[in-house]
């Protein structure tokens, strides 16, 4: 397996001081799996022009640790078209790097560069281009016996019960002189934390603010609104989609407190901060301005919480969805139900069996594989998931458990390998199971529905008996079945759904 590694990752890996601890975990996996670590010849040119002379000297010594690509593939028409938009030498090099995975000279490319990821989308090879965290997810999903963590659970915890001396908090201490004092004063406040083997992997503190909050240090000034402030937020790369899991916590709190906006103030000095900014931007946060403090100037990012639903890119307005779309109901077997929707756990299932030790459990973005006759779903369509019978008659144990919103549908799948690559980042299935799905019927290949997980309905959930009594459904759905607006409304009422995320 040949893995092409982008320039900045190599620079940070070989620097004399640790800049990005996540890169150490990445290279640990690359070594474990005996992957061939490759470097593009133009990356060496970039490194030679790096401002830090110590890094350049170190890299010239350590460059033999990588397999330098001996040749470059030829530019085809699509590559030449992309080069027309390159405005600098760096842009040109980025195109040359992504070209090698596009032309199958290497198996995968790992890069944190958003521009390269955009080019991969244009070239139709985005499933082979990974960020550090998503590549770790791939490694864990395909090699579960080699994963470092058995359980990664997010829980509420008082500040006072968390070890402030954990190295996780060192970056906060560097950025904020008053951090330790502030942290100790919050001893009786609730935070969200993920602790594994005694080490903190992620931390989140949220603060509800009313319309009377004063924002003298933010420019431009905030208008009066009910807001949720992301007070402290950090996630280390583990390959378990903790960033998405914590985003779900943020959005759930915003729903609970019925706020108008969510905002965060954050420095943009380190890679970990930039990655967090990119994650927030991917989910609809936009740069507002700056906050000036004694510690320096922070960037301010704001997200309208209930914007007009974006049907083409639902995650930009998540969890806000539109009523003016089609509605579907689809079955899901018990064996996969709580694997995909841990928050939908039912009374007859054991919580101990569903700790968040697999990437897809933490994700908001998920995959549903189907051979349904109906394949014409669109972005923004709403889907109700019907868990089929479990240890009892369908009448009582089949239930409507969860609602999601469609991102997109993929029907143009080239072959088995392409199918596995498209599913790998979000699916409950391992590679062998995915192969079985693909080959089950060669005359009816599966398609993929990418969707966002919005809400698990409270217990008790609406079962088949109730659906029959209300004349909503008589039998379990087979594939994606459309339902009327009237029946959809009935289900939401019976399910006691939090309809505040549904925008007229």
- What secondary structure does DSSP assign to 404-440, as a single string? EEEEEEE----SHHHHHHHHHTT-SS-HHHHHHHHHS
Q: What is the pLDDT of residue 349?
A: 34
For residue range 113-171, list pLDDT tens digits in order: 999 999 999 999 998 999 888 888 788 777 766 655 444 567 889 999 999 999 999 99
Which segments in the chain show pLDDT lower than 70? 14-21, 50-52, 55, 60, 144-153, 237-240, 335-362, 390-395, 425
Neighbours of 271 (CB within 10 A): 17
In angstroms, the CA 201 to CA 234 distance is 8
Q: Are 329 and 481 in contact (CB under 8 A)?
A: yes
> What is the set of domains in the chain, with CATH numbers?
2-130 (3.40.50.1010), 154-304 (3.40.630.30), 317-503 (2.30.130.30)
Q: What is the pLDDT of residue 152?
A: 55
For residue range 36-51, list pLDDT tens digits in order: 999 999 988 887 776 6
User: Helix 41-48 and helix 89-102: axis angle, to 10°?
Assistant: 150
Q: What is the pLDDT of residue 266?
A: 95
Could you write out the three-class secondary structure of 129-151?
EECHHHHHHHHHHHCHHHCCCCC
Q: Are 359 and 241 in contact (CB under 8 A)?
A: yes
In angstroms, the CA 47 to CA 9 distance is 11
Q: What is the pLDDT of residue 357?
A: 43
**How many residues appear in the chain?**
504
Could you write out the three-class secondary structure of 220-273?
CCCCCCCEEEEEEEEECCCCCCHHHHHHHHHHHHHHHHCCCEEEEEECCCCHHH
């Amino acid at each position: 397996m040949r893995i092409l590694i982008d320039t900045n990752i190599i620079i940070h890996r070989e620097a004399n001081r640790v800049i990005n601890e996540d890169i150490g975990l990445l290279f640990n996996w690359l070594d474990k799996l005996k992957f061939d670590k490759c470097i593009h010849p133009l990356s060496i040119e970039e490194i030679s022009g790096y401002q830090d002379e110590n890094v350049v000297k170190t890299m010239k010594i350590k460059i033999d640790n990588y397999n330098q690509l001996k040749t470059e593939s030829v530019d085809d028409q699509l590559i030449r078209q992309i080069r027309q938009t390159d405005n600098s030498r760096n842009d040109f090099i980025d195109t040359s790097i992504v070209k090698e995975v596009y032309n199958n000279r290497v198996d995968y490319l790992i890069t944190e560069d958003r521009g390269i990821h955009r080019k991969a989308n244009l070239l139709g090879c985005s499933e082979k281009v990974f960020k550090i965290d998503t590549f770790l997810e791939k490694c864990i999903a395909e090699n579960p016996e080699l994963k470092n963590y058995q359980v990664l659970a997010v829980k509420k915890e008082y500040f006072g019960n968390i070890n402030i001396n954990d190295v996780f908090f060192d970056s906060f201490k560097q950025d904020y002189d008053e951090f330790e004092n502030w942290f100790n004063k919050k001893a009786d406040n609730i935070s969200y934390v993920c602790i594994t083997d005694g080490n903190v992997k992620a931390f989140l503190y949220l603060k509800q603010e009313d319309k009377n909050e004063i924002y003298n240090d933010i420019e431009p000034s905030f208008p009066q609104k009910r807001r949720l402030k992301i007070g402290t937020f950090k996630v280390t790369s583990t390959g378990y989609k903790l960033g998405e899991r914590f985003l779900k916590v943020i959005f759930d709190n915003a729903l609970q407190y019925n706020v108008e906006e969510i905002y965060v103030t954050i420095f943009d000095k380190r890679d970990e901060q930039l990655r967090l900014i990119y994650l927030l931007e991917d989910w609809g946060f936009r740069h507002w301005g700056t906050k000036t403090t004694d510690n320096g100037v922070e960037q301010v990012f704001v997200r309208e919480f209930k914007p007009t639903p974006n049907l083409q890119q639902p995650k930009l307005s998540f969890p806000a969805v539109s009523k003016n779309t089609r509605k579907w109901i689809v079955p899901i077997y018990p064996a996969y139900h709580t694997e995909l929707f841990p928050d939908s756990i039912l009374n007859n299932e054991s919580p101990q069996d569903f700790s968040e030790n697999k990437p897809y459990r933490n994700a908001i973005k998920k995959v549903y594989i189907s051979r349904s006759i109906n394949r014409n779903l669109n972005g923004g369509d709403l889907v109700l998931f019907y868990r089929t019978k479990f240890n009892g008659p369908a009448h009582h144990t089949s239930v409507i458990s969860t609602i999601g919103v469609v991102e997109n549908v993929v029907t143009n799948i080239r072959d088995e390998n392409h199918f596995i690559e498209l599913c790998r980042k979000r699916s409950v299935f391992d590679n062998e199971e995915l192969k079985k799905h693909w080959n089950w019927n060669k005359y009816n290949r599966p398609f993929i529905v990418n969707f966002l997980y919005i809400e698990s309905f409270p217990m008790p959930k609406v079962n088949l008996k109730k659906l029959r009594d209300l004349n909503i459904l008589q039998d379990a759905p087979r594939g994606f079945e459309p339902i009327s607006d009237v029946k959809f409304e009935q289900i939401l009422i019976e399910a006691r759904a939090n309809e505040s995320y549904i925008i007229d």
